């Protein structure tokens, strides 16, 4: 079964990263839609974060227009994503990050106890 997790956020200060938790296991891909508010060139990057492997650059783009980027992850296991944008002058970037992959494994120990009563 496949699962998709979508998070909306904004980059409002140039050079300040945002970290988003990855809620899908064995990620197949990540898509990020950047909507630019401002003029000039924006440089945007997304990195995968893993306790085991640290940070790995997945994608980087320099653009003057809004764009959508998809990165194939081929089942990579990661804890989260770090998104950073840099630009000069006033501006911000509205972002939508969607990751897809297998859902978290079923764990019956997380279920509540069920009690039944019959008379």
pLDDT digits (tens, 9 = 90+) for 61-90: 999 889 999 888 876 777 888 999 998 888
Is residue 111 over pLDDT 60? no
Nearest 5°: phi and psi at 117? -140, 130
Average pLDDT over residues 42-70: 89
- The structure's pTM equals 0.76
H or E element, residue 87: none
Contact 44, 93 (CB under 8 A): yes
Q: How high does pLDDT run on average in the chain?
A: 80
The residues spanned by each domain of the chain are: 2-100
Structure tokens at 119: 């008379």
pLDDT grade, residue 106 (50/70/90)?
very low
CATH of domain 2-100: 2.60.120.510
């Amino acid at each position: 079964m496949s699962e998709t997790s979508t998070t909306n956020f904004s980059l409002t200060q140039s050079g300040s990263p945002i970290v988003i938790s990855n809620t899908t296991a064995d990620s197949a891909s990540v898509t990020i839609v950047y909507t630019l508010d401002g003029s000039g060139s924006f440089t945007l990057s997304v990195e995968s974060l893993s306790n085991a492997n640290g940070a790995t650059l997945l994608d980087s783009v320099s653009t003057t227009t809004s764009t959508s980027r998809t990165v194939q992850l081929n089942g990579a296991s990661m804890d989260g994503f770090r998104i950073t944008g840099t630009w000069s002058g006033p501006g911000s970037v509205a972002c939508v990050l969607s990751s897809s992959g297998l859902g978290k494994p079923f764990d019956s120990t997380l279920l509540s106890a069920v009690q039944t009563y019959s008379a």
